[in-house]
Structure 1
Amino acid sequence: MSSNPFRQARFLTSAHRIDQLPRDEGVEVAFAGRSNAGKSSALNAICDQQSLARTSKTPGRTQLLNVFPIGEDGQARLIDLPGYGYAKVPEAMRDHWRGVIDAYLRTRRSLCGLVLVMDARHPLKDFDRQMLGFAAASGRESHCLLTKADKLSRGEAARTLQQVRKELDLLAHGATAQLFSSLARSGLDEARTRVGDWLGLGSG
């Protein structure tokens, strides 16, 4: 994208339950991922903002659905879903998050796509597969960001991407994947184009 509409993203609210989200209209894209996959860093990099989404050295800080509208009318939104898979979170809270994420993916009419953030060194864990299954079952498109790609050699990264794409064909036909690094700022244009197309923001 020659100009980045995601720079207009702003924090609106945090929701503990689905009924606390903005009215179910317009279009929104959800970001999901394991607690240590770099989801907040990816959101900040895509939006070219340093602290839009909270990053922390302690995984599991995203404990609510955080809403980031883009532009004044709020009809295009990014939704940051609770990070999952972090062992130190109490079981009751994990169950609550799982229920909220499941209900959100099944019932939210304005949801048009899911960005699944995975550490390129540890892709497609059990919950990643579950999320892809949820999205496919509800007719949502999915795009996988293989983050921290800078930690892999070029050859390793290419092989990982090829393997993930092969598995996606079996798990969730139509799902796409790319390499991404918020640190090296690589893969940003591809990610912005994909999410921008879903939200109707254009691609440049």
Structure 2
Amino acid sequence: MRLIRFQDLPVTPWRNGGGVTREVAARHDAGAGSDFLWRLSIATVNADGAFSSFAGIDRTIAMLAGRGMALQLPDRTVSLGTESEPFAFAGEAPVHAKVLEGETTDLNAMTRRGVFTHAMRRLPSDGRLSIEGTADETVLVFGGRTVVEGLGETLVADRFDALLGIAPGQRIAVTPEPGAPTYLIQFFRSQAEQKDSKERPETPMS
């Protein structure tokens, strides 16, 4: 397993000046003709604005910090705060975000439809949690200081740090500080892609 420090992630400013993005991890495949097959990032948003359109991409967003935001979709408005469950939507859907107050920090998972799927869960923040790898790729993002035990080592994660490298069948334990949630993000390769991927080389996860 590998601990990724939030403070070490490169910062990419948005073109519209409404925020910045830090890429936590991504899976690329040179043979697929796409920028990524899956991607996990943390964004800091300080102004209202439209989400970028990602055709053929499924997305999930969760609020890590701030007062939250209201997402205006064609058929409804969804309010997201730090206590909200992650919200999933299609990447090509027109979405306008309104920041409720100040700035927000949010967690974003994206997968290329038909190649990977994903699931994001907000785990309880009280007591010790046991987590087993059951997906092709499993990532944890921590909402506060958390002790991680497993695979013969103990790590201490800080707020917004991420843990990668939990293989299928491996089990770890996390003990967060009181009130700090843990976000579990699982990436699953589709059955059709599993067959196709055997016929083309795959670049390593960044």
TM-score normalised by L of structure 1: 0.31
Whose helix proportion is higher, 1 or 2?
Answer: 1
Point out the structure with max Rg over C-alpha. Answer: 2
Whose strand proportion is higher, 1 or 2?
Answer: 2
